[in-house]
Structure 1
């Protein structure tokens, strides 16, 4: 049976996913059979596996570990859809939509059974399981039902590696407070702590580390410098709040005057925004997450992202007048998944996904498409032949990605299919269900080229995309260079 190491945190967004991915790759590089695990994840950034949906972090960690992503790596996934309600995914399959109280009262027991069974299967197949916690392990109001942290530590008999983020300040208070608040039996399983996102002179931390270790008896095994290895973000904590601006990119050495900027409306229920990360890494490209009421005058292209609640986010855009501004926008426009559905003429059976009871909701009207929602859900990896039209004109070849969506879209007028498997394009507007579109060089290059042509900016030849450094290896190097793994029990090393 495998040994389990639980990477738990003092809070959300402290770097647990990066540490877990780095450990997976470090162990895999040394010939150890390792698998990721997160008993319960809450994220709208999901990926498709042969068995169904998993959170993006476990998909990434499986790739880092060199194993095929599986629903066992994330047996319970909660996808928030607004108004305190989430879609529950058990073993990759959608069960239904529930408010938090309903989930805990009616389905948490089933989730616990699914998580334990998944962990048992992984444990029989591997030497080490690198489990990732969720949020803070010290949420005392949830200790009796904390599946990703407390329950995992118990049923897996896991060593716990506690991760704390120094960037927000108060790192030692966070560590000490967390150790004070975790259940006593879990406190005994804490093998060490790691401080992440450090900037500056490492020696300045030494007095604090020494006093922390004296007070708690827990060793600080490493201080990881602030660095982004390029792994996909797990949740919208990385994005600005609704109604605020944020520009991603710009650290590529390309002046803003020689760059193009892609506007992305910051939907209240945005999902799979990792689709935009390849664009943000492109030299001379900025990705701006903008409020739904923002003007589009200063932008060169627009991408409508996915949504966990397409109907309600469509209504939010309509109420903000976004559709009127989009229809007068002179530049390439792409809608991905829910964004594709919004670009159409209407959504029918809308009450299935929306919070209201309307059967039909008018779309933004840029594509002759009608989407009909149903209870069934498409979750699959796909490979499509690309017909370079509209915002992707000039591109050809095969593109790969995945689809996760409810509803089917039907052409109602003259438009062309940008892919052999569907979508719609007309003039400078294109919609598709294909996630990871911009991971494909041919599609990304065509979109960026068309954005530059529309802007009138001549892209500089010396601005070359930096693809050096495997993000999994970079994450592993963060671990090996800054964390002392010797005190941890890591069988096989």
Structure 2
């Protein structure tokens, strides 16, 4: 194997398309037989996946990484592990985040405590993880975070500047032209970067462009003349459908055009169904809903806590980083009344499952506002007790649902669990999705993230929603083409970026 190369996909700001470009590069290299792996030294997200702890890290078992690096590992066709995202910060409110290093929780800290007391440990873990990946792969595609030119963070910018340095990375700058001022953003970013990292910039990519690309040519030429940095490509506005990393990408409500995730795909309105998802203040792992949003005729609509469920055909309560505080927020918004009046299928996933139980005890573990117990919404006769211990594991269960929102579904279902607290289920309730799951004729609760990625569970749920809605589910006559978001991301990059400067040397 030739010497490994690291490409750092860095941005001029947050949400400029770094994750899409990184995933596209991972699939592009994998398609050409290049051994490639994703990497993000430090991520901040409540959208996490459970993956095996990397070899070379003390101990075995399962740990957490950000969902984007899990997605990028799939794009690279390599099994995801904790080396792909060695440092994860999971915000939980009150200016605190849970610090996860090498997949394992370290504690909850404010920003000052993290940088003063734990940042050096985090940097060491990130550098060691990158070294292990570089020893095994020809190319490491690293993703930065936010802007690489945040001068107030220059001395502790782990995901950008530190990665560029310890990985000797070739830096690819990404800028979103839809925001306006793209050339100014690129030029200003270059001017504010430290000189040593500025010299590592190989080129730039413009994303989310609409219209005739020839109109950009005068600006491209002048920027290149002024900066000496080539514009390697201009990506059109095209979303390949990769999972969102955090809730900034979610709509605010269901009334606006972007408020519906998963279009009707040509299905007549009277034949579509709507799955309502409360937009929890501390929502996490909302990628659980994306497989449903891709089903023709199914709309996944994010509803604000004070919103109505009147037009919903089903409700899915997603995960949350802080079950107790989100429960209190939903109560304050009278969401419990809406949920009590709703008579369709309801599924609670992880924290959403805890919300719809009868009680949560030892609630002070999660919330300073509750001493001991808090009443849940009471849709399932179960009780959850919180503890400091956290369960992080990949799981496979033998699904057998005779009743409930998954009625008729059988066979294995796989996913992962990331949760604190254990739920006691009465013996008379069926456990269709693992021993801690519970179902009634209308309501299901489970800790299994990724449930709807399993076709048997997804199809059974969609069928149940259509039965409740009293309409016929669309068949294959819709003519909706199948699409692979990893291949689509690769095609987007391959067709619009000059990749010759980014291929492995030698």
Please report the TM-score for the alignment, with normalisation by the length of structure 2.
0.94
CA 1:177/1:314 → structure 2, altered by over 3 Å: closer, same or farther? Answer: same
Q: Is the 8 A contact 1:176 1:212 kept in 2?
A: yes
What is the deviation of 1:189? Answer: 0.9
Name 2:269's counterpart in structure 1: 256
CA 1:292/1:413 → structure 2, altered by over 3 Å: closer, same or farther? Answer: farther
Q: Which of 20, 28, 31 matches 1:29?
A: 31
Name 1:12's counterpart in structure 2: 14
Distance 1:420 1:44 in 2: 24
Name 1:169's counterpart in structure 2: 180
Name 1:370's counterpart in structure 2: 383
Q: Secondary structure at the match of 1:487?
A: helix
Q: Which of 400, 404, 413 matches 1:399?
A: 413
CA deviation vs aligned residue, 1:440-482 (integer Å, no higher than 9, x gap): 1111111111111111222232455846232222111111111
What is the deviation of 1:417? Answer: 1.2
Q: Which runs of 5+ in 1 are unaligned?
A: none
Q: Secondary structure at the match of 2:89?
A: strand
Name 2:132's counterpart in structure 1: 121
Q: Which runs of 5+ in 2 are unaligned?
A: 54-62
1:112 matches 2:123: yes
1:354 matches 2:356: no
Distance 2:279 2:32 in 1: 42
Distance 1:11 1:255 in 2: 39
CA 1:42/1:276 → structure 2, altered by over 3 Å: closer, same or farther? Answer: same
Q: Secondary structure at the match of 1:372?
A: strand
Report which stretch shifted further, 356-365 or 412-421. Answer: 412-421
Q: Is the 8 A contact 1:36 1:65 kept in 2?
A: yes
Q: Is the 8 A contact 1:35 1:130 kept in 2?
A: yes
Q: Which of 375, 391, 399 matches 1:386?
A: 399
CA deviation vs aligned residue, 1:405-461 (integer Å, no higher than 9, x gap): 111100147422122433011121110001111111111111111111111222232
Name 1:461's counterpart in structure 2: 475
Report which stretch shifted further, 235-244 or 108-117. Answer: 235-244
Name 1:220's counterpart in structure 2: 231
Distance 1:392 1:162 in 2: 46
Q: Is the 8 A contact 2:356 2:380 kept in 1?
A: yes
Distance 1:242 1:71 in 2: 34
Name 1:434's counterpart in structure 2: 448
CA 1:276/1:86 → structure 2, altered by over 3 Å: closer, same or farther? Answer: same
Q: Is the 8 A contact 2:6 2:139 kept in 1?
A: yes
Q: Is the 8 A contact 2:99 2:108 kept in 1?
A: yes
CA 1:244/1:78 → structure 2, altered by over 3 Å: closer, same or farther? Answer: farther
Name 1:304's counterpart in structure 2: 317
Name 1:490's counterpart in structure 2: 504
Q: Secondary structure at the match of 2:499?
A: coil
Q: Which of 194, 218, 222 matches 1:211?
A: 222
Give the total of aligned pairs: 492
Q: How big is the alpha-carbon RMSD for the aligned residues of Structure 1 and Structure 2?
A: 1.7
Distance 1:321 1:168 in 2: 37
Q: Is the 8 A contact 1:128 1:491 kept in 2?
A: no
Distance 1:466 1:278 in 2: 15
The runs of at least 4 consecutive aligned structure 1 residues that moved more than 6 Å come to: 242-245
Report which stretch shifted further, 179-188 or 4-13. Answer: 179-188
What is the deviation of 1:143? Answer: 0.8
Distance 1:330 1:243 in 2: 20
Distance 1:430 1:117 in 2: 42
What is the deviation of 1:41? Answer: 0.3
CA 1:463/1:431 → structure 2, altered by over 3 Å: closer, same or farther? Answer: farther
Equivalence map 1:36-435=2 (5 Å) = 36-51=38-53, 52-241=63-252, 246-388=259-401, 389-412=403-426, 414-435=428-449
CA 1:3/1:461 → structure 2, altered by over 3 Å: closer, same or farther? Answer: closer
Distance 2:461 2:359 in 1: 26
Q: Is the 8 A contact 1:243 1:292 kept in 2?
A: no
Report which stretch shifted further, 463-472 or 216-225. Answer: 463-472
CA 1:487/1:339 → structure 2, altered by over 3 Å: closer, same or farther? Answer: same
Distance 2:383 2:164 in 1: 48
Q: Is the 8 A contact 2:424 2:436 kept in 1?
A: no
